[in-house]
Amino acid sequence: MRNKHNIQFILRHYRPKVFSPDQALERFWGREGSGTVEKRTTVIWWWALVTMFVVTITIGTTLHQRSMDRWEMVTAPVAELPDGSVVQLKEGASLAYQPHRFSRERTVRLSGTGCFDVVHNPDAPFEVHTEEAYVRVLGTRFLFDADEGEVYVIEGRVRFSRVSTEEWVVLAKGERAFLSASAGAPVLEAPELPNPAAWATGRLAYESVPLGTVLEELTALYGQQLSVVPETAIGKQLTGDFMVDDGLDFIVAAIEAAMDVQIVKSGE
C-alpha cells in the first residue's frame, strides 16, 4: 500500500514541462516525516521509474515530430505526389515535400524546372517554393523554372510572387511572368516561344506563327540548327499541330510540303 501511495503522490504532482522531482520529494518527505532509509529508497526508486516514463514520452514525441518534419526528395522525371498531382522534372531538377503533412499542407520546394499538373482542392492550396519566389494555386497546370524565376501557365490560373515582397501577379492560360531585378512584383511578358512546355506536354501547337519562330523553337527543342530556303519565306505564317514524338524529320517534311519551302539542317 505504501508503494502505491508513493507513486500516486509523485504522479499527482507531475505536470508536463514543469515537473520537478526535487520539489516533489521534498513535499512528500515534509508531509510524511523524515522516514526510514527504506522509505527514502522506495521513493527514489519510484522517482526513477517516473523519470524514465517522462524521458520515454519526450523521446517518442521528438522522434514523431522529426518524422512529421522530414522532407522527401524527388528526382525522377515523372512523379505522382500523395494528393494525385503529377510533376514532370527536367534533367537536373529536383523536388522536395513533406509526406506526413501533405494532406493539409500541399507545399513543395523546387530546384530546376518542373511542369505541374495539380489536382483541384479548394480546402488545400498547392504552393511551389524556390529560393526567390513561390506559386500558389488551387488546381491547374503550369511550368515553373526556378533557375530563371519564370512561370508559364498551360491551364487554369496561378498567383506568382517574390518571397521578399507581398506583391504578386495572377497569370491565366498562355501567360508568362518572370522575376526582374528592377521590379518588386513579377513582370508579365509574352512567351518567347509558342510552346515553352512542349518538352512536358509533348505537343506543338501553332496558329499563324511566323516560320522563323517555328524553326527557332524546333532548334531549341531538338538541338539541331534549322534555316529556310528561300530566306524570304521566314516570314510566312504556319498553322498546325504536331507531337514532339513525331520527330524532327517528320515535322520538317510536313512543313516543307504545306508551305512549299526547303528547310535546311546544320551540316547538310
Q: What is the pLDDT of residues 42-58, one digit of tens each?
A: 656 666 665 665 555 55
Residue 112 one-letter amino acid: G
- The model's pTM is 0.70
**In this prediction, what percent of the chain has a pLDDT beyond 70?**
74
Angle between helices 2-12 and 21-32 (to 10 degrees): 130
- Rounded to the nearest 10°, the torsion over CA 178, 182, 184, 189 is -30
Average pLDDT of the chain is 83
Listed by start position, the domains of the chain span 2-69, 72-188, 200-265
What would the mean pLDDT of 227-247 be, rounded to a whole number?
94
User: Strand locations in the chain, DSSP E?
Assistant: 72-74, 78-80, 86-89, 94-97, 106-111, 113-117, 126-129, 133-137, 141-145, 150-155, 158-162, 168-171, 176-178, 187-188, 203-210, 226-229, 237-243, 262-265
Q: What is the pLDDT of residues 26-42, one digit of tens each?
A: 555 555 444 555 555 66
| Protein fold of 72-188 | Jelly Rolls (2.60.120)
pLDDT value at residue 36:
53
Residue listed under C-alpha cell 506583391: 167
Top-level CATH class of 200-265? Answer: alpha beta
203 — pLDDT class (breaks 50, 70, 90): very high
What would the mean pLDDT of 138-158 be, rounded to a whole number?
94
